[in-house]
Structure 1
């Protein structure tokens, strides 16, 4: 019996979700498709029905995480006033980090993976985020939008480190 298209889409998403968890918990190099299959409660051959390689699975997991971030930022951009834009983007990212911590950890790990396909996904993700934020800052009339975008992304990276190492004091701003 062939799974329905809806079932296939759901199982694919389940596999990606399981991969995000496994990769984030034990790292891409230690993770196996067998561990992903176990987490998704399916057989390992079923993983390969959707993803030819572990690298292809990682690419999709990363693309899912970048899409989630871009969607969240885009939703903020179309709903807030320019004076609230930056703070709302920061809050949107904080919600992503809280709700999807494993995706954040996965992206952090992926920054150290040198396989060309993974580097390309990470480059595209950062470029897309930069463009969305920069365009929003320009549209809002921010002074020095390139610098503000740079600081916004740098702050996000510091948030990642703070979360990953359980060092909230990294995020305490002194005035």
Structure 2
């Protein structure tokens, strides 16, 4: 088994970061691992040392889910019950602004039927949904499940608004 060094872990992260950008901009089916390799300034065979194209997408999605989960956890750990939902909204907006490609990647991946990709989407959304429901319940928010559904639906509308560059689709309040 290959030994994982800090350098190879860094290269893996660089490849994933390049894939996020390439897949988000070009689309998974049109993008090639050669384009990912070029952006990462490495050879295409080096990409295949770590990933297939599908496993690269799944890893890129995992990075995007973990970013949202991390941001949400920070809010949950520090927000008062009264500020929880607003804090989660602001955290998501910050992720959308700073990691736009990750959100676009998630949106595109929702249309991909490969089982590993579908599983990643289901697990990511399910984890976030459960995290928000649990936080709302622990905060004593009435109708926590319905509020979570509404929160997630507003987040999806934010995604569409961002992707189309139509801020008028999403009215805060």
TM-score surpassing 0.5? yes
Cα distance in 2 for partners of 1:124, 1:31 equals 24
Aligned-CA RMSD value: 1.4
Moved over 2 A (4+): none
Cα distance in 1 for partners of 2:134, 2:73 equals 11
Residue 6 of structure 1, CA deviation:
1.1
Cα distance in 2 for partners of 1:147, 1:170 equals 22
1:86-101 to 2 correspondences below 5 Å: 86-101=85-100
Cα distance in 1 for partners of 2:164, 2:3 equals 42
User: Which digits, 9 at most, give the CA deviation of each residue in 1:25-80, with x for residues without a partner?
Assistant: 000000000000000000001101111x1000000000110011001101110011
Residue 4 of structure 1, CA deviation:
7.6
Residue 173 of structure 1, CA deviation:
4.5
Aligned length: 172
User: Which digits, 9 at most, give the CA deviation of each residue in 1:129-162, with x for residues without a partner?
Assistant: 0000000000000000000000000000000000
User: Which residue number corresponds to residue 34 of structure 1?
Assistant: 34
Cα distance in 1 for partners of 2:88, 2:77 equals 11
User: Which residue number corresponds to residue 50 of structure 1?
Assistant: 50
Residue 24 of structure 1, CA deviation:
0.3
Cα distance in 2 for partners of 1:4, 1:154 equals 40
Cα distance in 2 for partners of 1:8, 1:173 equals 43
User: Which residue number corresponds to residue 19 of structure 2?
Assistant: 19
Cα distance in 2 for partners of 1:76, 1:121 equals 24
Flag structure 1 segments of 5+ consecutive residues without an equivalent. none
Taking structure 2 as the reference length, the TM-score comes to 0.97
Cα distance in 2 for partners of 1:161, 1:4 equals 38
User: Which residue number corresponds to residue 156 of structure 2?
Assistant: 157
Residue 3 of structure 1, CA deviation:
9.5
Cα distance in 2 for partners of 1:14, 1:49 equals 13
Cα distance in 1 for partners of 2:102, 2:172 equals 25
